[in-house]
Structure 1
C-alpha cells in the first residue's frame, strides 16, 4: 500500500530517505526550516564572491556515496566532477609536518622513512582495515539494529575476532606503530566519530581504509554539489520539497500520527520520518509518546561541537594545502577538554580547509577561501569575545606555518559559527556538530532506535541513530529507515 509520507529535514539522511521512499511509489514531502536543502551541509555565497560550504569538507568512502546514485540508475559524475586530492592533507606538528600522499604505496614509503619497518606494518594494518571496511560497511551498518539477533550469522561469527570489536583503537594502533607522529596520523580519522581513540572500538580502523586507501576527494563547486545531486535524484523519483517550512508539532491519536502542524497549517500524513535532531523531534510529541526521557539524553556521550570561521582572504596563501591539520599540541589534552572538563581548550588543535587551492570558483581571482574548525565541548559559553580570542590564536599558528605576517589584516570577509548557532539553526542537542559519539556503549543496538516504540508510524534517521555520524553513514541511515517503512506490514 502506497503512503503519504513526510520527511522532516533535508540533511543527507533526509535526502536519502526521501529518494528511496519516493522510488517505492510513495507520495513524499520533505519539510525544511531553511531556504535550501542540506542541513549542516548548506552553502552560502558572499557579496565579495566567496562560496562557503558550511559543514562537511572531507569526501571519504566514495564507494558508499557512489552506491546511492547507482541505486537510482545514476552516477556521481552525472552531477559533479570529483577530484582526488594529492596530498590528501598535511598534518602540522611542533617540529615537523607530514603530507599524506594520494597513493597508498607512496604512503608506505613515507612511513618507512619515519620509522624502520613501518611501511610493512602499514600494509598489514590496511589489509586488516580493508577486511573491516568490507564487512563493516556491508554487513554491519545496513542493519536497523532492533536487536543483537540481527548480527548472528555465520559470516559475522567467523569474522568476529578479525573485527576487533572489543579492543580500543589507541591500543590497536600502538601494536603496529611506535612513532608518536605515525600513531597520531592513524588515530586522526576516528576523531570524526566523536570520541577519544581510547574509547573507540578498533573496528573503526575501517575509517583509515575508507580515507587513506580510497583517497580524499573534492567535488568541484563544493560539497554542496552532493546535496544538490541527491535532491535532484529525490525529485526525479517524485519527492516534493517545501523550504522555509517549520514543523511545529507532531499530532498523534491512539498510538498513531494523524498530522503535522507546519507553519501553522495542519497537514495529514500516513507516516513521518524525522531526519531532524532526534531529541528535538521528541519535543514535538506529547511526553507520553516519546522514546526517551530528558535524563536519557543528559547521560548520552555526544560528539563535539565546533568553533568554525568562514574567512575570505584578499590574497593568495602560498604553501597552504587544501586540508591542513594543526596538531602541534597534545591530542588527549584537547580531547579531555571536550569530554571530561567541558571547557575551552588551553592548547587547542584545529583544522584548516582552503578549497580555493583546488577550485578557484569558490573565491575571487587572486584570493583564498579559508575555513577554520576547532572541535569543542557541547553546551559551553561561546560568546563573540571568546570566539575572537581563538581566531587570533589559530591565525597566529597559520602565520607561523606559512611564514607570513599580518594575516588578520588580509581578512575581507569573516563569519563565525559555534555552539549556539548549531542550536538555533539545527536544534542540535547541546550544540553538537556530529551527533552521538560512536563509543562501544553507543554502538549498533545501543543507539537510539529508528522506530518510535509507542507511535507506530514515526521513524527516526540521521546521525543520532544507526549507523552513526558522518556523511556516508547518514546516507545509509536514510536507506535503512526507508526499507523499514517499505517492508512494513501496515
Structure 2
C-alpha cells in the first residue's frame, strides 16, 4: 500500500519539525521552501568574516529539540550539542545599575537583593508564582489543540480550568509585576518578558509571567554551532528519515476541491498530496494560497492585532568588550512611553531598550580575532506604512548614542560591516505579515484561545504550524505546534 503524501509549505523550524514527525508517522513528506535555504527566521548571515544568527537568539526548552531525535530513534548527541548558560542575561540601566540574571535562583535572588531595594525572597516568590502558571497551562494549553472537544474532556484539562484564576488572566503583566516588586528596575526586568511574544506588558495578561519560569527553571542554552545549527541539525535529521526538501520553490496555491485538500501548485505544476501543512504565516496562507476560497477565510482571526516587529542591526565590531556577555539588555528610561510609541503611535521611541546578542562570546570563529559580532535589536511596531528609511536612520543614531554612553566608548568607528533587517525585509524574507514576528499579539486575556487552530475546520486535510497559530511564537512554541499537528493528521 502506497504511503500517504504530506506536503509542507515552508521550511521554518515548525515546518521542519512537522516534517520529521509525519515522516516518523509513516508519511511520504516533501517540504517546499521559497528561499534557497531552510530555517525561515532561524537563519544566518555571513559577511566580511563575521557570522550572525539572523533571527531568534535565545534557546530555551532544548528538550523539544531532543524529543525529535528520540522520536526518530536517533541519539540527539550524535547530531546536536548545547551548553547551559550560568548567566541568562546582563541588564544595564540608565542609572548605572548592572544586574546579572543568573540561571540559578539563589544566585539571582542574591544579585537582586544586593543591587536593588528588593529582598531576595521577592524574587523567589515571583518565580514560584511563574512556576504555578506553567504547571496549570503547560499540558493543556501548550501541548494540545484548544480546538478539539476531547481536549476539554480530559481530567487534567478540567483541573486546569478549575484553577483558571491562578494563571492570573485578569490583571495586566505590568500590574502583576508592580504588586510583586517595589523596585521599578525589577518591575521593568520582568515586564520585558512580554516582548518574547511581541506583546505589550501594559496590556497583555499577567499569564505571560509564565515565561520567566522557562528560563530560570529549565535554563537558557547556547547551541555549539550557534542558533542556526538548530535548523541545520533538524534538516539533517529530517533528511535521514527521508524527508525531501525542495528549495527556491514558492507555493502559489493550496489546491482545494470540494473543501478537501488535493495538493499544491508551485512553479506552474501541481503536486498531489493527502495532507497539506502550512508553516507560512496564517494571514498569507489565506490571502495568497487560498485567495480563490474567500468563503473559507476566518476574517476575525485575520483582522486581529499583529504582534510587534523588530529592527535589527548586524554589526561587525572591531573590538572586544569583556563587560558584555552573550545576551545583554540596555534598558530605556521610560518603558511605558516606549511601548506607547510602539502600540499607540506606531513609531519608535527616542530612547528604546536595546538588546545585543554576541554569539562570538561562545563561538569565537563567528568574528575575526579581537572582534565581536553584534546582533543589535529593538522592538518596533509592525509595518503599517511608516517611513522606515527615516525611522531606521534615526533609530541607528539613537542606539549608537545610547550604547556608546553606557560603554564609555564611541561605537560608530568600530563598525566594520553592517546588515539591517526591518519589518519590510522581515515580511519579504519570511512571509510574516507586516513583519510581525509572532503572528497576532497577546494583548488580550483570551489571546491563547483566539489564535488560529492547527487543523482547518473547513478544509479536510489542511493543517497549520508555526508562530502565527496555536500555541504561539518563539522556538519552543513553534516546535509544540508541530507536536500538536502530528496526532491531528489521519
- Check the 8 A contact 1:305/1:375 in 2, yes or no: yes
TM-score (norm 1): 0.93
Q: Which residue of 1 aligns with 2:360?
A: 356
TM-score (norm 2): 0.93
2-structure distance, mates of 1:392, 1:294: 40
Q: Which residue of 1 aligns with 2:33?
A: 32
Sort the Cα spacing of 1:480 and 1:125 in 2 relative to 1 into closer, same or farther, 3 A.
same
Sort the Cα spacing of 1:260 and 1:358 in 2 relative to 1 into closer, same or farther, 3 A.
same
2:207 matches 1:206: no
Note the alpha carbon deviations across 1:201-255, whole angstroms, 9 max, x for none: 2222221110133322111221011111221222222211111111111222111
Counterparts of 1:446-457 in structure 2, within 5 Å, are 446-457=450-461
- Check the 8 A contact 1:51/1:363 in 2, yes or no: yes
Q: Which residue of 1 aligns with 2:475?
A: 471
2-structure distance, mates of 1:27, 1:148: 29
Q: Which residue of 1 aligns with 2:437?
A: 433
Q: CA deviation at 1:66?
A: 3.4
1-structure distance, mates of 2:387, 2:98: 31
Q: CA deviation at 1:122?
A: 1.6
2:330 matches 1:329: no
- Check the 8 A contact 2:56/2:227 in 1, yes or no: yes
1-structure distance, mates of 2:73, 2:178: 43
2-structure distance, mates of 1:66, 1:201: 31
Note the alpha carbon deviations across 1:15-71, whole angstroms, 9 max, x for none: 11101100011000001111111000111222x211111100011233343334333
Q: CA deviation at 1:121?
A: 2.0
Q: CA deviation at 1:471?
A: 0.7
- Check the 8 A contact 1:90/1:99 in 2, yes or no: yes
- Check the 8 A contact 2:137/2:160 in 1, yes or no: no
Q: Which residue of 2 aligns with 1:92?
A: 92
Q: Which residue of 2 aligns with 1:175?
A: 179
- Tell me the matched-pair count: 483
- Check the 8 A contact 2:205/2:445 in 1, yes or no: no
Three-state SS of the structure 2 residue aligned to 1:421 is helix
1-structure distance, mates of 2:468, 2:294: 18
Indicate the larger mover: 117-126 or 51-60.
Answer: 117-126
Counterparts of 1:35-434 in structure 2, within 5 Å, are 35-46=36-47, 48-74=48-74, 76-95=76-95, 96-115=97-116, 118-146=119-147, 150-151=151-152, 153=155, 154-282=158-286, 283-288=288-293, 291-292=296-297, 296-297=301-302, 299-379=303-383, 380-405=385-410, 407-434=411-438
Note the alpha carbon deviations across 1:263-320, whole angstroms, 9 max, x for none: 22221111100001111111211443554366753x3121111111111112223422
Three-state SS of the structure 1 residue aligned to 2:345 is coil
- Check the 8 A contact 2:20/2:68 in 1, yes or no: no
- Check the 8 A contact 1:467/1:473 in 2, yes or no: yes
Q: Which runs of 5+ in 1 are unaligned?
A: none
